[in-house]
């Protein structure tokens, strides 16, 4: 173990079934605040610098192993074939590293609120006390279901008693076992080998390691966590919701202390992996997930979800859903828009209401104000994409790209059938289906010429309000039809009646 290492190894117990979750997903893979429970435990233990990290897997092991490979490739999975208890699980882990010596952190995989400083303090206390087994504890309001810390008259820890094995007097104790321990590897190996199963659950309890060490006169210690919330486990969905709430409160408290305005903490959810700069403003109903980064002066919300998104300085995103997109400085999005991966808005660009974008680069100051789909597109600077424009990127087999130049004006309801290019400064006429490139400065028109069938309403819809309105207009115009040019064969105004 090197000087920077607080412990030689970390062992995470994650083989239990988690029956109380009533889930097809292994308990430790349930998520809160942007990580799995297991991910939170590994993140808290990581800075201790252990040379070896072992995760005991069993129930749902394939899923847990796959997850580990993705989030903590340096950790090693050790299989506990049968779930014979937490003591057995720790033993299986130590058997996998026979040469290991020094202090080992053993931690339940279902303790997502553990913090680095709590684990560091535990390891330091273990070293300072010269202890061979140090258990993390907490005073809690409601100790139901947790192991109780039994201390003697002098306050020295004597035993950890599981609730189902406790006497009434022991059940009244409010100091509980966190399921987090630092122990000397050799000592732990020895004591775990002698664990019995004469308890209510017939399991080898890791908690039973303490009493025999005390009886043998070995130095042990129990360290109270500063914040009792740290030690709370998570056994069912109600506890999962409660832990998620606590975790979120911590994240928001940190953000507010650092200078972020959070208008409504109760409806704002920020993953531990997201970052928000001071003087950003989060309106009610905001979720910031994954690697999302919000810069200073940006306004997000109300009612906006950002996933792996970047919102740069002074930008705003209102009532929108943004995945894997970059919203540049001063740019604005929403209300009611959907930005999908590969979208990148340059400075001061605008994506307005009811717009979907995907794999789209929108240039500086360019606007897509209303009701459009922009897929596989590159748009230059200062362009305006008229309402209801569709970038027709898919021919049923392959996706194709569209390029729009600088200062282009795309008329409303234009279909841009990719692959197609509209040159700098060009226009398209409203309602055009653009299938060929439009050269710079040209007007692309691709729609049928209009024809008006004069008098059609009075002939075909006589007696309707429309016919009356048309007749009134004609009489105001001096008895002549409002427009000439009958294309259905009859003479202009032939069947017109006053």
Residue tagged active-site, from 40, 88, 370, 400: 370
Which partner, Ca ion, ligand UD1, none, binds residue 326 by CB below 5 to 8 Å per kind? none
Which partner, Ca ion, ligand UD1, none, binds residue 389 by CB below 5 to 8 Å per kind? none
Cα dihedral 308, 309, 313, 316 sign: negative
Cα–Cα–Cα angle for 216, 217, 219, nearest 5°? 125
Find out whether 238 and 228 touch, Cβ atoms under 8 Å.
no
- Residue 15 C-beta: closest distance to ligand UD1, Å: 3
Left (φ > 0), alpha (ψ -120 to 50) or beta: where does 145 sit?
Answer: left
Is 67 part of the annotated catalytic residue set? no
Which partner, ligand UD1, Ca ion, none, binds residue 162 by CB below 5 to 8 Å per kind? ligand UD1
- Residue 85 C-beta: closest distance to ligand UD1, Å: 5
d(CA 40, CA 71): 10
Which partner, ligand UD1, Ca ion, none, binds residue 248 by CB below 5 to 8 Å per kind? none
d(CA 267, CA 334): 20
- 97-136 positions binding Ca ion, by CB under 5 A: 110
Which partner, ligand UD1, Ca ion, none, binds residue 374 by CB below 5 to 8 Å per kind? none
Rg (CA), the chain: 34
Find out whether 149 and 177 touch, Cβ atoms under 8 Å.
yes
Nearer to ligand UD1, 13 or 420 (CB): 13
Nearer to ligand UD1, 244 or 361 (CB): 244
d(CA 474, CA 462): 15
Which partner, Ca ion, ligand UD1, none, binds residue 189 by CB below 5 to 8 Å per kind? none
Nearer to Ca ion, 13 or 311 (CB): 13
- Residue 208 C-beta: closest distance to Ca ion, Å: 16
- Residue 76 C-beta: closest distance to Ca ion, Å: 22
Nearer to ligand UD1, 28 or 404 (CB): 28
d(CA 43, CA 225): 18
Nearer to ligand UD1, 79 or 491 (CB): 79
| Position of minimal CB gap to ligand UD1 | 147
- Positions that interact with ligand UD1 (CB under 6 A): 13-16, 56, 58, 80, 83-86, 88-89, 108-110, 146-147, 160, 162, 176-179, 205-207, 233, 235
Q: Is 380 in the site for Ca ion (CB under 5 A)?
A: no
d(CA 444, CA 435): 10
- Residue 58 C-beta: closest distance to ligand UD1, Å: 6
Peptide bond into 335 cis (omega under 30): yes
- 221-240 positions binding Ca ion, by CB under 5 A: 233, 235
Token pair for 417: 């059938």
Strands 304-307 and 286-289: parallel
Q: Which of 29, 11, 26, 9 is nearest to 77 (CA)?
A: 11
- Residue 41 C-beta: closest distance to ligand UD1, Å: 9
Token pair for 26: 């292994």
Nearer to Ca ion, 61 or 189 (CB): 61
d(CA 3, CA 315): 46
d(CA 475, CA 141): 87
Which residues are known to be catalytic? 370
| Residues making contact with Ca ion (CB under 5 A) | 110, 233, 235
């Amino acid at each position: 173990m090197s000087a920077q290492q607080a412990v030689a190894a970390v062992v995470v117990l994650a083989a239990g079934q988690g029956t109380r979750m009533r889930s097809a997903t292994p308990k430790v893979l349930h998520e809160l605040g942007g990580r799995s429970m297991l991910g939170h435990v590994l993140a808290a233990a990581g800075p201790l610098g252990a040379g070896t990290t072992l995760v005991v897997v069993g129930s749902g092991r394939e899923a847990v192993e796959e997850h580990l490979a993705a989030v903590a490739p340096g950790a090693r999975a050790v299989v506990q074939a049968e779930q014979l208890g937490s003591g057995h699980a720790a033993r299986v882990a130590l058997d996998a590293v026979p040469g290991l010596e020094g202090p080992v952190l053993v931690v339940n995989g279902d303790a997502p609120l553990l913090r680095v400083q709590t684990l560091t303090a535990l390891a330091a206390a273990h070293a300072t006390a010269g202890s061979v087994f140090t258990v993390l504890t907490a005073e809690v309001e409601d100790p139901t279901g947790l192991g109780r810390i039994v201390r003697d008259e002098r306050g020295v820890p004597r035993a950890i008693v599981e609730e189902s094995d406790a006497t009434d007097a022991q059940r009244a104790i409010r100091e509980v076992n966190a399921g987090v321990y630092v122990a000397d590897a050799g000592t732990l190996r020895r004591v775990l080998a002698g664990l019995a199963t004469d308890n209510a659950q017939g399991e080898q309890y890791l908690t039973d390691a303490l009493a025999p060490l005390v009886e043998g006169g070995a130095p042990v210690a129990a360290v109270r966590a500063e914040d009792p919330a740290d030690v709370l486990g998570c056994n069912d969905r109600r506890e999962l919701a409660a832990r998620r709430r606590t975790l979120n409160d911590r994240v928001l408290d940190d953000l507010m202390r650092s200078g972020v305005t959070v208008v409504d903490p109760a409806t704002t959810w920020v993953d531990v992996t997201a970052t928000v700069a001071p003087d950003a403003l989060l309106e009610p109903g905001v979720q910031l997930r994954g690697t999302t980064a919000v810069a200073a002066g940006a306004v997000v919300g109300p009612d906006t979800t950002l996933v792996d998104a970047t919102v740069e300085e002074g930008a705003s995103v209102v009532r929108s859903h943004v995945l894997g997109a970059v919203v540049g400085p001063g740019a604005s999005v929403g209300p009611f828009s959907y930005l999908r991966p590969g979208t990148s808005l340059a400075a001061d660009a605008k994506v307005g209401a009811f717009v979907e974008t995907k794999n789209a680069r929108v240039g500086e100051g360019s606007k897509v104000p209303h009701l459009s789909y922009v897929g596989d597109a590159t748009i230059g600077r200062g362009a305006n994409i008229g309402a209801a424009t569709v970038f027709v990127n898919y021919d049923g087999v392959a996706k194709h790209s569209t390029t729009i130049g600088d200062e282009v004006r795309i008329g409303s309801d234009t279909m841009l059938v990719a692959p197609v290019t509209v040159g700098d400064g060009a226009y398209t006429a409203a309602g055009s289906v653009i299938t060929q490139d439009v050269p710079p400065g040209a007007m692309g028109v691709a729609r049928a010429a209009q024809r008006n069938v004069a008098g059609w309403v009075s002939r075909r819809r006589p007696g309707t309000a429309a016919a009356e309105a048309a007749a009134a207009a004609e009489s105001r115009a001096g008895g002549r039809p409002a427009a000439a040019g009958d294309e259905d064969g009859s003479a202009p105004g032939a069947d017109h009646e006053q």
